[in-house]
Amino acid sequence: MENFLVSARKYRPVTFRSVVGQETITNTLKNSIRSNHLAQAFLFCGPRGVGKTTCARILAKTVNCLNLSEDTEPCNACESCLGFNQSASFNIHELDAASNNSVDDIRALIEQVRFAPQIGKYGVYIIDEVHMLSPQAFNAFLKTLEEPPRHAIFILATTERHKILPTILSRCQVFTFNRIKVDDISSHLEYVAKSENIQAETDALHVIAQKADGGLRDALSMFDQIVSYSGGSTITYKSAIENLNVLDYDYFFRATDTFIQGSYSDTLMLLNEVLTKGFDLGNFLSGLSEHFRNLLVCWDAVTLPLLEVSAGVKSRYQSQSQQCGPLALIRGIDLINQTEISLKSARNSRLSAELGMLKMCGIFKPEPQPEKKTPDVSPAAPAPVAQKPEEPAKQPVINLRGVSPVRSTISIRKHLEKNEETFDTTSNQQPTHSITEQLPEDSFDLEALLQHWEKYTEKLRVEGKFSLCSSLTITQPQLLEGFQIGYMVQNESQLRELENDKHDLTTYLQKQLRNFSLRIQLSKSEMPIKTRPFTADEKLKALEEMNPHVASLRKKLGLNPG
């Protein structure tokens, strides 16, 4: 049986022209060779599987080609090219720094650099995963890298540029390889499929390209895997998503339809179907967030090229996007993000995901419009006297987090006190009492105030707002006339901090004390404020000041303050 050669090796580019998705870098290298402006050291950095080592080998092959073509590509016919193709070239040396990262390995390389090549012009030294070299090996390499022999070229490749010493970076021309676009990977997979006489659906190749996350080598590995799974003749969209454990687009389109319809039961059943088939909740939420992003980019022709899907799926996105508003999609993405965060700390992850999905059913509902009532005017009624139109009273707006603002026609008194009495909207006269007078104004004493004040500071402590909690416990609030509460701080910083929280504190105390006329007055003391005792020593000192006999008793018993 003939040994199988994986597609990543079989279809590995051998010329600059065949490199996928890195045209900027390959054109720069070709121009450098053509104009004889080659540097003595290069650093190729970028994600895995994007062509760093491949470009390094092509560069090494090209600079030693004895008969370059007009477009600066190797001829593949000269002695140097044939030796390279048969892996028998003495001009190219590769070192894996992951397993050869010591000072002795670099010293051996430096000794080898001294010898000129037998065939060709340059001796090329490719060091892969160069970030794995030890600091001592880097230092030993510095001098040779800066002033190598005229016949030596170093090509360093790494996936982690931040681990390279700045002294190494300053001696190299740095080329950053980008992730390969989905369309470029899909086109290359289509070429490989045709070369192998494999029937492949376009949607299946797009799924592989998206799953590869910009790495062509990963895409080719998944391609081989799916070919084996499918029997070696065809690749279908169904076989691709089953083998790669990827959720079908259809799930996200169906989920969005249930959100638009506001169907809670269908939403729960769809989520159950996803879990029953063994998919992870995190992957589902991540895919749904990507789906909303794709719907959002369909709203504008300028952003439409950002949609990296096949033509058939693109038409479905464009159709469904017309049923979703941009603001609703943005709120949906934010809600999914919050659900993903809560999922990591939730004990019942399914319940957390279900709650997030049920909330999604409310964000796509259209905002209710107020009904227009036609005035009932009797034919026999006298003509109305012209009066100056009065500006209609503004209705309060109730804004819930994550829900679109809805105008309320219910009076505040009815909302708070559940009273059946409403304003007479048919009369032109204003109500006899203002809204402020209808709110509760229960009396309270200092003890009740201190009790709820302490509960609020405890709430801040639980939320981690320790600085604000400390500012509210420095002194004791004072009850002034007319439901006014006075609080004094020590410095300007505390005053600014409490001014920012003043609204929340006032609202909290108004609700707890049932007095909506309550107000808080903040001021800064010009004199040092006597703060509450906090530590054990401060409490003991306060007791001794209140009762001198405590100090004498402590001394008689031989007790120390510590």
pLDDT, tens only, 244-254: 878 888 888 99
Q: Are 156 and 127 in contact (CB under 8 A)?
A: yes
Q: Tell me what pLDDT residue 385 has.
A: 44
Q: Give the start-to-end residue ranges of the domains of the chain.
A: 7-176, 182-244, 249-363, 446-524
The yes-or-no verdict on residue 81 having pLDDT over 80 is yes
Structure tokens at 355: 């709650």
CA separation for the pair 105, 141 (Å, rounded): 10
**Residues 6 or more apart whose Cβ sits within 8 Å of residue 239:** 204, 226, 229, 230
Q: Is the pLDDT of residue 392 over 60?
A: no
Average the pLDDT over 381-385 and give the result.
Answer: 46
pLDDT at 44: 92
Q: According to the model, what pLDDT value does residue 304 have?
A: 83
Does residue 141 surpass a pLDDT of 70? yes
DSSP helix/strand/coil, 407: strand
CA distances from 109 to 29, 52, 98, 102 (A): 25, 21, 15, 11
pLDDT at 233: 79
Q: Are 65 and 57 in contact (CB under 8 A)?
A: no
| pLDDT at residue number 371 | 54
Is the model's pLDDT at 559 over the cut of 80?
no
Q: How far is CA 235 from CA 160, 203, 214, 245, in A?
A: 35, 10, 21, 15
Whether 28 shows a pLDDT value over 80: the answer reads: yes
Per-residue b or e along 530-556, where b marks 16 or more CB atoms closer than 10 Å to that residue's CB: eeeeeeeeeebeeebeeeeeeeeeeee
Q: Which two tokens stand for residue 8?
A: 């990543």
* pLDDT for the residue numbered 401: 40
Separation between Cα atoms, residue 216 and residue 397, nearest integer Å:
53
Question: Looking at the domain covering 249-363, what would its CATH class be?
Answer: mainly alpha
Q: What is the pLDDT of residue 406?
A: 40
Strands (E), 143-287: 152-158, 173-176, 199-200, 234-235
Q: By the 8 A CB rule, do 119 and 79 touch? A: yes
* Section 207-235 average pLDDT: 85
Q: Give the Cα separation of 360 and 343 in Å (integer).
A: 16
Fold classification of 182-244 is Helicase, Ruva Protein; domain 3 (1.10.8)
List the strands of the sheet with 478-479, edge to edge: 478-479, 484-489, 519-524
> Among 214-228, 411-425, 450-464, 514-528, whose mean pLDDT is lowest?
411-425
Structure tokens of 401? 């987090």
Tell me the pLDDT tens digit for each residue of 397-423: 444 344 344 444 444 344 444 443 433
Q: What is the pLDDT at residue 400?
A: 37
What pLDDT score was predicted for residue 561? 64
| pLDDT of amino acid 43 | 92
Question: Residue 314: is its pLDDT beyond 70?
Answer: yes
User: For the ranges 25-29, 291-295, 514-518, which has the lowest average pLDDT?
Assistant: 514-518
pLDDT for position 276: 87
The residue type of 367 is E
Predicted confidence band of residue 55 (pLDDT cuts 50, 70, 90): very high
Residue 390 above 70 pLDDT? no
User: With bands split at pLDDT 50, 70 and 90, how would you rate the model's confidence at 242?
Assistant: confident
Q: Please give the average per-residue pLDDT across 172-191, as a whole number.
A: 89
Q: How far apart are CA 493 and CA 488, in angstroms?
A: 13
Question: pLDDT, tens digit, for every residue of 504-534?
Answer: 898 889 888 888 888 898 888 765 555 556 5
With cut-offs at 50, 70 and 90, classify the pLDDT of residue 472: confident
Mean local confidence (pLDDT), 87-108: 85
For residues 191-221, one letter each, b for 16 or more C-beta atoms within 10 angstroms of the residue's C-beta and e for the rest, the string is: ebbeebebebbebbbbbbbbbbebbbbbbbb
Mean residue pLDDT of the chain comes to: 80
Residues 326-373 pLDDT 10s:
888 888 999 999 888 888 888 888 898 989 888 888 887 654 544 545
pLDDT at 562: 57
Q: Is residue 52 within 8 Å of residue 157, measured between CB atoms? A: yes
Strand partners, 128: 96, 157
Would you say residue 487 has pLDDT above 60? yes
Domain 7-176 listed as CATH 3.40.50.300: yes
Q: What pLDDT does 383 receive?
A: 44
Q: State yes or no: pLDDT of 433 exceeds 60.
A: no
Q: Name the nearest CA neighbour of 212 among 238, 191, 186, 176.
A: 186
Q: Which CATH number fits domain 446-524: 3.40.50.1970, 2.40.50.140, 3.40.50.11540, 3.30.300.180?
A: 3.30.300.180
CB atoms within 10 A of CB 68: 16
Predicted local distance difference test score (pLDDT) of residue 262: 87
Predicted local distance difference test score (pLDDT) of residue 175: 92
DSSP E strands in 295-416: the ranges are: 397-398, 406-407
**Closest CA relative to residue 250, chosen from 233, 265, 263, 237:** 237
Helix 264-276 to helix 349-363 angle, to the nearest 10 degrees? 140
From 134-148, 350-364, 432-446, 459-473, the region with the lowest mean pLDDT: 432-446
